Amino acid sequence: MTDALNRDSIRVLFAGGGTGGHLMPGAATAEALRRVLPSARSLFLVSERKAERQCVPALAGFETAHEPAAPREGALDKVLFPARSLRAAGRALDVVRGFRPHVIVGLGGLRSIGPALIGRALGIRTVLFEANAIPGAAVRLLAPVADCVMVQWARAADRMKARRVVAAGNPVRSRLFEGRREPATRRLGLAPGRRTLLVLGGSQGALSLNHTVHEALRLIYAKGGDLQVLHLTGVDHLPAALEWMNSLPAASYRPIGFFHQMEDAYAAADFVLSRCGASTLAELTALGLPSILVPYPHAAAGHQSANAEVLRDAGAALVIAQGELTAERLAQAVLTLASDEGPRAQMAECARRLGRPRAALTVAVELAVMAGFGAQVSPSVMAVTSLERLRRHQESVSTKPLQAA
């Protein structure tokens, strides 16, 4: 099949997802791939799930193909899941045959399994993304047969059996580096000179975290804390947050349900309170933002806690376990960082050392070389990614033979 491909431009199929944390690294990579090879074509295999629909703006300019979702929430969904999965696999096969990709990138989640196995069976190069410190079930299943696994944290390699692992980092969108504080705060209705806390609960929000934030802010303002808060609550939780505004000082609390211009949110922030999704942590470290992290306790295999440990061990974040989270403890942590620039600056520097702002470019070059388009990459881009690889040498994971089960 590969011999018959048109070699004029690289074609990459991105498959998998279910959340913004899966799709956004793919969008960042496709964006970088177009910078590396302007004629590159990227196609995203997406479903109609709510979390994916919210990511549509990030996929603008790229090709998309839809596949049927296979929910497993209700009893009927579980009964129909095998048939729906077969239908999704058939759709994926049709897309692969029509698009004829040089590389298939599995973004994680169950929906990456079918396309990756189809690609392997047809002799197409396959790459997996794993942004968590503990690899997900789909990546662990596919890693032994994939050509390469791109990981954010080097420690993830110890938890999978893979042909090749590259600690390239988790790709983040280039626009996140374009934010500027003064225009960002103006657009958000914030005061440029006030200390700003950005609260992130993930693309779907975090109900228990939101409630604790509200109680902590009441304590903070009761103590005279001078702080303004930009709170991304999640669409479903915005009505409750709007009610909280009545009990907080005017112009100090700005809740938003869902926000696409994250470059403005990050540019306005002095520090961040967040759950520990891998893509969010990739953005925080790439931008050098200090943070208070509260891992979601019910995340699969405890991967959010493992992600948080990476930043805590590097000195880039304070970590509070959900079971230990109280309004009083959160208020104390927020006040400490809000009032003392020293710890914030130290954590910011640690975050920058851990971050990989060029991850998207590095991965794009890896894909180009893997697909046989390395000669078309400019020497300057090759030099930049080579320097990045050298800088990360101590953390990188070398090629290793497939281990026995």
Handedness of CA 282, 283, 285, 289 (dihedral sign): negative
Contact 160, 149 (CB under 8 A): yes
**What is residue 22's predicted lDDT score, i.e. its pLDDT?**
84
Per-residue pLDDT reduced to its tens digit, 227-269? 999 999 988 888 988 888 888 987 899 999 888 899 999 999 9
Domains of the chain: 2-172+358-391 (3.40.50.2000), 178-354 (3.40.50.2000)
Average pLDDT over residues 187-198: 94
**What is residue 398's predicted lDDT score, i.e. its pLDDT?**
39
Q: Of the candidates 31, 355, 17, 327, which has an alpha carbon nearest to the alpha carbon of residue 203?
A: 17
CB-side neighbour CA atoms (13 Å) of 344: 18
Confidence of residue 17 (pLDDT cuts 50, 70, 90): confident
**What is residue 21's predicted lDDT score, i.e. its pLDDT?**
78
Per-residue pLDDT reduced to its tens digit, 370-382? 999 999 998 888 8
Average pLDDT over residues 217-231: 94
Per-residue pLDDT reduced to its tens digit, 97-143? 999 999 999 999 888 999 999 999 999 999 999 999 999 999 999 99
Task: Evaluate if residue 77 carries a pLDDT over 90.
Answer: no
Per-residue pLDDT reduced to its tens digit, 286-339? 999 999 999 999 888 889 999 999 999 999 999 999 999 999 999 999 999 999
Report the share of the chain in percent with pLDDT over 90.
67
User: What does the mean pLDDT of the chain come to?
Assistant: 87
CA dihedral 347, 349, 353, 356 (to 10 degrees): 90
By 3-state DSSP, what share of the chain in percent is helix, strand and coil, each rounded to 5? 50, 15, 35
Average pLDDT over residues 146-156: 95
H/E element holding 182? helix 181-188
Task: Evaluate if residue 8 carries a pLDDT over 80.
Answer: no
Report the share of the chain in percent with pLDDT over 70.
87
**What is residue 298's predicted lDDT score, i.e. its pLDDT?**
87
Inter-axis angle of helices 278-287 and 341-354, nearest 10: 110
Confidence of residue 360 (pLDDT cuts 50, 70, 90): very high
Average pLDDT over residues 147-175: 94
90 φ, ψ to 5°? -65, -40
**What is residue 82's predicted lDDT score, i.e. its pLDDT?**
58
**What is residue 400's predicted lDDT score, i.e. its pLDDT?**
38
Listing DSSP states for 261-315 in one string gives -HHHHHHH-SEEEE---HHHHHHHHHHT--EEE---TTSGGGHHHHHHHHHHHTT
CA distances to 73, 304, 315, 327, 394 from 297, in Å:
20, 7, 22, 17, 31
Look up tokens 């956004």; give the residue.
24
